[in-house]
Amino acid sequence: MTTVSLKIESGATQLTLPEGFRSWLAFWEAQRGKRATQCEAFGCDREVTEAGRVIKVGKVDGVYILPLCDRCSSLANTRIFKAWDKDLVMLTQEPEAAT
Ligand SMILES: [Zn+2]
């Protein structure tokens, strides 16, 4: 398993919740097949409060959803953090990065 360096996606991209889901956390849970109860930032075990929109540092290939706690999501605005690659759920693909 590998970890990736991430930061919060700060763009103002308007994303429409896929049909059939009532929240981005529910969407993430459906994609990953597990409950989003614990912050997915590496080394953190606080309670999830929101679905963070993150991008990979150094290799921006799209926007991903990652469940985060309130502390990580606010810290991550200015800091790079790590998470398991497998826990990222792809949200949008950057058209220019598509191969
Ligand atoms: Zn956290």
pLDDT value, residue 56: 93
Domain boundaries, the chain: 3-9+22-91
Using the predicted structure, report yes or no on whether residue 11 has a pLDDT greater than 70: no
Distance 79 CA to ligand 1 centre (A): 13
Distance CA 66, CA 36 (A): 9
Distance 99 CA to ligand 1 centre (A): 33
pLDDT in tens, 67-84: 999 999 887 567 899 999
Vertex 79 angle, CA 78 and 82, to 5°: 145
pLDDT in tens, 36-62: 999 999 999 999 999 999 999 988 788
Distance 43 CA to ligand 1 centre (A): 8
